[in-house]
Amino acid sequence: ALRKGSDLEKAFATAALVYNNYADPESKLSKSETKSLLQSQFWHFIQGQENKPKYQEIISSLDEESENKINFEDFMIMLVSLALMSDLLQEIKNVKTTK
């Protein structure tokens, strides 16, 4: 659908597709599914973040026993939060591309 979309539009579409592939029929993820998705699909961003308090807070909230499920909006907020604290993001910011 976004073959002619911008790189940013394609990035968001990819995030939505990955989320939908993991989500249940109600378009939600359990906390354990969310943690699994992050570990398998976002590990370059979360690698090495284990000692950061905000990272520990986010991950510990996924370990809590709860019937609450995560919707796409909350998932995207979590992704952005994890990316912003990531050392990888700092490396990416230092790389300049020409187009």
What tens digit of pLDDT does each residue of 26-73 get? 999 998 899 899 999 999 888 888 888 888 888 888 877 667 899 999
pLDDT of residue 98: 55
Read off the pTM: 0.79
Q: Locate the domains of the chain by residue range.
A: 2-98
**Residues 31/66, Cβ–Cβ less than 8 Å:** yes
pLDDT of 2 higher than 70: no
Compute the mean pLDDT over every residue in the chain, rounded to the nearest whole number.
86
Q: Is 2-98 a CATH 3.40.50.261 domain?
A: no
**Residues 19/75, Cβ–Cβ less than 8 Å:** yes
The C-alpha atoms of residue 84 and residue 64 are separated, in whole angstroms, by 23
- Sign of dihedral through CA atoms 90, 92, 98, 99? negative
Query: What is the pLDDT averaged over residues 60-89?
Result: 85
